[in-house]
């Protein structure tokens, strides 16, 4: 669930930065393109964050047995 929060915050920061950088743009459909880019960014960040979390959970931890006394064999 936290990967959605990260994706949402990243998208909002991207949206604000692009609006500040392109205040005086003459592109007619700039806001439409920006919304499309924000949606695409949200999908990419959430999918990659979920994939990284899933990959880290699938690693198995192998514990090495250490003999603290005489071995049983």
Kindly state whether residue 61 falls inside one of the protein's structural domains.
Answer: no
Alpha-carbon distance values, 20 to 14, 15, 16, 38, 64 (Å)? 10, 9, 6, 15, 55
Choose among 44, 50, 55: nearest CA to 1. Answer: 50
CA distance linking residue 41 with residue 38, whole number of Å = 5
Residue 65 lies in a domain: no
Domain contains 46: yes
Residue 39 lies in a domain: yes
Domain range for residue 8?
2-55
Provide the whole-model pTM.
0.67
Average pLDDT, the chain: 83
User: Predicted confidence band at 14 (pLDDT cuts at 50, 70, 90)?
Assistant: very high
Structure confidence at residue 12 (pLDDT): 94
Q: Is residue 60 part of a domain?
A: no
The answer to whether residue 20 sits within a structural domain is: yes
Residue 7 pLDDT > 80 = yes
Please state the rounded mean pLDDT for residues 53-71. 70
> Could you tell me if residue 10 is inside a domain?
yes
Q: In the structure, what pLDDT confidence band is assigned to residue 16 with cuts at 50, 70 and 90?
A: very high
The total number of structural domains that make up the chain: 1
Task: Say if residues 9 and 33 touch (Cβ distance below 8 Å).
Answer: no
């Amino acid at each position: 669930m936290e990967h959605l929060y990260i994706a949402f915050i990243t998208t909002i920061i991207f949206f604000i930065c692009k609006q500040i950088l392109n205040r005086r743009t003459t592109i007619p459909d700039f806001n439409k393109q920006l919304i499309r880019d924000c949606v695409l960014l949200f999908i990419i960040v959430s999918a990659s964050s979920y994939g990284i979390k899933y990959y880290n959970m699938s690693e198995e931890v192998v514990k090495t047995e250490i003999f603290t006394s005489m071995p049983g064999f």
